[in-house]
């Protein structure tokens, strides 16, 4: 989704801004631009549709030389991806703005500003902000004062960066609903929508909070909160190496991230397991007491994270007896929800900034839930900061738009949650917990075995490259695994893929099955295996091409139109995590065969910060 980078320094900033944009590329975008206050005393900009590298080449041909600048990658919401709609947007020649988010009242503002004589050169909502600010500068001499007045008129969500040729000793920022972080340097300061963009210039960051406005100068910083009060915000220092900086030996980030799963699952389990039980404190100091009172769980998430929630429902209801509902955040947030007594509100998110998930959490605050818990990969995210309890998934930065290691670590976190709730409520026998804990310790090794099957799966992928449609089947907790497998395939290979509970096949989708329709099935050796085998017969009888990932003890055999890939035997609780891996690899190899942009698939964004 859109990315923001800003810099004010003694040195030239163009290269820093472009490098920052490159580091945000993984979020997905369709155009990019930079505005610099040049040493010649003018605001100048360069914008390009397509990749940041095109902007970089344009800047090499015609450099923008200056020490103050803002930059942006845009993911189109209002107006098509075009140079005119790309940010930064200007008002006259002396004011430039970049913006993440959506201004809901942009149409009425546009009308008012046009009546005042402003001429719009784009279809964006952002352009209303820059003209509004320009207009307010006529009555507010100071840029920060004008920005404070401007944001009072904006409805919607924004992260803003502003520079002005009239006040070139400062970079202004405003945050409401779209994250912004200030990077601190020596005699230079920076701004970005994600600290990852600035890791090459600093390891010290200050996160702006909702409603904050910041005036950033080379050697000073002033922040005002939503009430206009001057405030000090805490500084965070990062020590860990930015692991995501390169792809290492791998051809794509996605493949690297798939292969990181044993390591990051191990990390997610560290310090969280005692010899025979889960350390409930891992969720926060009050977790033990709160979990003991939980009588219901409401899970809310989007995309891949939603699929993790669907798996967790099977675990929670089976192991703790606690009823659980799972809903996509964009639906949940606009619905009148009947809140159950003592219900725990759980959000799941890789980024912790997904607009719908965050809005659902905010709605839930006053709705009467027992407490909120975030299962999230980013410790400094809004979701984590606004939740009562947290479990960090420690997957490390995930760059591939298609989520892989974030999903498996979410599943690990949700299994820990299930065990912790079960024990706190006294509904889970100690022996069952001890057995699950022991199995979890073996999970990284099991995932390595699944990754060793890569060569076999690459061959299976060949059967897909020419297909246009596919079905994914699973039963029980493998049904959401099939949903996640189908999502992966459509995200990166653009092949239409649908997931069905295998028992539902004959109620419609069977009509689609023919020799052109690969049917992928996940078949661990559980109590539903025999039923699943019958479902597979139904497919074979219609000429469907079966690809079955099955427990090696499941006694499923290769045959005409049936390709069986034997999976290592696993504890039943771990099967959804284990069976996810070959489906990730399958999608990856199909996408590579099709030659798509694996890490940045068309039309998608990594972090969806608009609704």
Q: List, by residue number, the catalytic residues.
A: 2, 606
H-helix or E-strand containing 175?
strand 171-176
User: Which region, judged by CB under 6 A, interacts with ligand G6P, from 139-147, 155-163, 273-281, 301-309?
Assistant: 301-309
**Residue 569 DSSP symbol:** P
Instruction: Tell me: does residue 550 bind ligand G6P (CB under 6 A).
Output: no
Of 128, 164, 372, 403, the residue at the interface with ligand G6P (CB under 6 A) is 403
Instruction: Tell me: does residue 606 bind ligand G6P (CB under 6 A).
Output: yes
> Residue number with the shortest CB distance to ligand G6P?
303
The tokens describing 505, both together, are 């096949």
Q: How far is CA 400 from the centre of its chain?
A: 10
Place of tokens 């493998």: 478
Give whichever of 64 and 102 is closer to ligand G6P, judged by the CB atom.
Answer: 102
Give whichever of 510 and 604 is closer to ligand G6P, judged by the CB atom.
Answer: 604
Give the count of beta carbons closer than 10 Å to the beta carbon of residue 491. Answer: 24
Phi, then psi, of 401 in degrees rounded to 5:
-60, -40
For the bound state, the minimum distance from the C-beta of residue 376 to ligand G6P, rounded and expressed in Å, comes to 8
Give whichever of 77 and 449 is closer to ligand G6P, judged by the CB atom.
Answer: 77
User: 27: closest CA among 59, 56, 58, 4?
Assistant: 4
Instruction: Tell me: does residue 381 bind ligand G6P (CB under 6 A).
Output: no
For the bound state, the minimum distance from the C-beta of residue 21 to ligand G6P, rounded and expressed in Å, comes to 19
H runs (alpha helix) in 73-196 = 106-115, 126-136, 143-152
Task: Please answer whether residues 600 and 28 qualify as being in contact, where contact means their C-beta atoms are separated by less than 8 angstroms.
Answer: yes
For the bound state, the minimum distance from the C-beta of residue 430 to ligand G6P, rounded and expressed in Å, comes to 33
Q: Is the CA virtual torsion 336, 480, 401, 236 positive or negative?
A: positive
Give the count of beta carbons closer than 10 Å to the beta carbon of residue 588. Answer: 28
Site for ligand G6P in 323-352 (CB under 6 A): 349-351
For the bound state, the minimum distance from the C-beta of residue 487 to ligand G6P, rounded and expressed in Å, comes to 8
For the bound state, the minimum distance from the C-beta of residue 178 to ligand G6P, rounded and expressed in Å, comes to 14
Of 64, 172, 322, 401, the residue at the interface with ligand G6P (CB under 6 A) is 401
User: Which region, judged by CB under 6 A, interacts with ligand G6P, from 37-45, 412-420, 521-529, 600-608?
Assistant: 600-608
User: Which region, judged by CB under 6 A, interacts with ligand G6P, from 177-185, 190-198, 299-307, 506-514?
Assistant: 299-307
Nearest-angstrom CA–CA distance, 27 and 194? 10
In sequence order, what E strands does 242-388 have? 296-301, 324-328, 343-349, 371-376
CA-only gyration radius of the chain, Å: 26
Give whichever of 189 and 403 is closer to ligand G6P, judged by the CB atom.
Answer: 403
Q: Are strands 518-523 and 545-551 parallel, antiparallel or unpaired?
A: parallel
Nearest-angstrom CA–CA distance, 357 and 611? 9
Instruction: Tell me: does residue 305 bind ligand G6P (CB under 6 A).
Output: yes
For the bound state, the minimum distance from the C-beta of residue 363 to ligand G6P, rounded and expressed in Å, comes to 16
For the bound state, the minimum distance from the C-beta of residue 303 to ligand G6P, rounded and expressed in Å, comes to 3
Nearest-angstrom CA–CA distance, 208 and 159? 10
For the bound state, the minimum distance from the C-beta of residue 403 to ligand G6P, rounded and expressed in Å, comes to 4
The tokens describing 127, both together, are 């352009």
Nearest-angstrom CA–CA distance, 463 and 456? 12
Nearest-angstrom CA–CA distance, 299 and 241? 32
Instruction: Tell me: does residue 604 bind ligand G6P (CB under 6 A).
Output: yes
Give whichever of 36 and 329 is closer to ligand G6P, judged by the CB atom.
Answer: 329
For the bound state, the minimum distance from the C-beta of residue 374 to ligand G6P, rounded and expressed in Å, comes to 10
Decide: helix, strand or coil at residue 65. Answer: coil
Task: Please answer whether residues 273 and 437 qualify as being in contact, where contact means their C-beta atoms are separated by less than 8 angstroms.
Answer: yes
Decide: helix, strand or coil at residue 592. Answer: helix
Give whichever of 302 and 457 is closer to ligand G6P, judged by the CB atom.
Answer: 302
- Write the interaction track for ligand G6P spanning residues 248-287; mark x where CB under 6 A is met and - where it is not: ----------------------------------------
| DSSP string of 195-210, one letter each residue | GGGGTTT-SEEEEPPT
Give whichever of 167 and 404 is closer to ligand G6P, judged by the CB atom.
Answer: 404
Of 197, 391, 608, 610, the residue at the interface with ligand G6P (CB under 6 A) is 608
Sheet (strand 156-164) strand order: 89-91, 95-103, 156-164, 171-176, 213-216, 221-224, 230-231
Give whichever of 406 and 539 is closer to ligand G6P, judged by the CB atom.
Answer: 406
Of 44, 128, 354, 587, the residue at the interface with ligand G6P (CB under 6 A) is 354
Instruction: Tell me: does residue 303 bind ligand G6P (CB under 6 A).
Output: yes
Of 167, 330, 357, 521, the residue at the interface with ligand G6P (CB under 6 A) is 357
How many residues line the site for ligand G6P (CB under 6 A)? Answer: 15
Instruction: Tell me: does residue 302 bind ligand G6P (CB under 6 A).
Output: yes
Binding residues for ligand G6P, rule: CB under 6 A, are 302-305, 349-351, 354, 357, 401, 403, 604, 606-608
């Amino acid at each position: 989704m859109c990315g923001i980078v800003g810099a004010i320094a003694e040195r030239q900033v163009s290269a820093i801004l472009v490098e920052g944009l490159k580091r945000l590329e993984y979020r997905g975008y369709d155009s990019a631009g930079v505005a610099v206050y040049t040493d010649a005393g003018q605001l100048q900009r360069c914008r390009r549709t397509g990749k940041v590298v095109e902007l970089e080449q344009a800047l090499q041909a015609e450099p923008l030389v200056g020490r103050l600048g803002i930059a942006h990658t845009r993911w189109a919401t209002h107006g098509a991806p075009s140079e005119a709609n790309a940010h930064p947007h200007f008002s006259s020649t002396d004011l430039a703005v970049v913006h993440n988010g959506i201004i809901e009242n942009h149409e009425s503002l546009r009308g008012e500003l046009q009546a005042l004589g402003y001429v719009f050169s784009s279809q964006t909502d952002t352009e209303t902000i820059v003209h509004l600010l320009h207009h307010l500068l006529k009555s507010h001499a100071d840029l920060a004062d004008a920005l404070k007045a401007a944001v009072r008129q904006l409805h919607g969500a924004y992260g803003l960066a502003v520079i002005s040729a009239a006040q070139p000793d400062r970079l202004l920022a405003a945050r409401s609903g779209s994250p912004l972080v200030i990077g601190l340097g020596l005699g230079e300061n920076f701004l970005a929508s994600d600290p990852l963009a600035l890791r090459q210039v600093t390891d010290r960051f200050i996160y702006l909070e909702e409603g904050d406005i910041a005036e950033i100068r080379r050697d000073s910083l002033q922040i005002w909160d939503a009430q206009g009060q001057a405030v000090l915000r805490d500084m965070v220092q990062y020590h860990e190496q930015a692991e995501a900086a390169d792809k290492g030996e791998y051809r794509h980030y996605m493949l690297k991230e798939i292969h990181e799963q044993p390591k990051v699952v191990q990390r997610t389990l560290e310090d969280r397991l005692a010899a025979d039980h889960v350390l409930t404190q891992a969720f926060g100091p009050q977790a033990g007491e709160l979990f003991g009172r939980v009588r219901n769980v409401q899970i809310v998430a989007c995309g891949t994270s939603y699929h993790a929630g669907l798996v967790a429902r099977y675990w929670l209801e089976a192991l703790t007896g606690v009823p659980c509902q799972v809903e996509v955040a964009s639906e949940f947030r606009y619905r009148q929800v009947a809140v159950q007594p003592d219900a725990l509100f759980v959000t799941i998110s890789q980024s912790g900034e997904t607009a719908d998930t965050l809005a659902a959490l905010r709605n839930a605050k006053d709705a009467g839930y027992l407490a909120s818990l975030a299962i999230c990969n980013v410790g400094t995210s809004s979701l984590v900061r606004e939740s009562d309890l947290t479990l960090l998934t420690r997957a490390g930065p995930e760059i591939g738009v298609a989520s892989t290691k974030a999903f498996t670590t979410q599943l690990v976190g949700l299994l820990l949650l299930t065990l912790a709730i079960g024990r706190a409520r006294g509904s889970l026998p100690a022996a069952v917990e001890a057995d699950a804990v022991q199995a979890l310790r073996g999970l990284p090794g099991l995932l390595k075995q699944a990754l060793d099957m890569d060569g076999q799966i690459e061959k299976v992928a060949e059967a897909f490259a020419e297909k246009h449609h596919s079905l994914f089947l699973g039963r029980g907790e493998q049904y959401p695994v099939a949903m996640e497998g189908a999502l992966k395939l459509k995200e990166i290979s653009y092949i239409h893929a649908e997931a069905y509970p295998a028992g539902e096949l004959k109620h419609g989708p069977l009509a689609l099955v023919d020799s052109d329709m690969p049917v992928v099935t996940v078949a661990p050796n559980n109590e539903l295996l025999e039923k699943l085998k019958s479902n597979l017969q139904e497919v074979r009888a219609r000429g469907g091409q079966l690809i079955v990932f099955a427990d090696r003890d499941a006694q499923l055999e290769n045959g005409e139109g049936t390709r069986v890939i034997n999976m290592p035997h696993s504890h039943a609780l771990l099967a959804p995590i284990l069976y996810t891996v070959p489906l990730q690899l399958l999608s990856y190899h199909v996408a590579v065969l099709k030659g798509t942009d694996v890490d940045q698939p068309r039309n998608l964004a990594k972090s969806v910060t608009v609704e």
